[in-house]
A = this chain, B = another copy of it.
């Protein structure tokens, strides 16, 4: 399944800056960064449970937030991108 993951992590404190780095690093394990705090991820149900659990173990729920949008089929046709573009086709073969 495809999900869109967005987060806000408060960086008022050093601890917050550390949480932000850790959250971003975890998201990179599960998907493609398309904007600073926006990731498109292709995960199966078990991976989603794992992914969510890792994020929730890090964020401070009083100051930070994570939103997960479950994207439907053909979601790629329903996304517009304008401006600087860092993303790639999540299904394209990875050439090493």
* Residues on A facing B (Cβ under 8 Å): 4, 6-8, 34-38, 52, 55-56, 59-72, 75, 78-86
Contacts and interface: CB of A to CB of B under 8 A. Distances in A.
Nearest to A63: B84
Q: In the assembly, how many copies of this chain are there?
A: 2
Contact of A68 (B8, B79, B85): B79
Nearest to A36: B8
B71 A83 contact: no
B79 A64 contact: no
Given A35-B37, A35-B65, A79 B83 contact: no
A66 B34 CA distance: 10
Given A4-B4, A35-B7, A35-B37, A70 B78 contact: yes
A67 B79 contact: yes
* A-B CB proximity, top 7 nearest: A65-B83, A70-B78, A68-B80, A61-B83, A8-B35, A66-B82, A65-B84
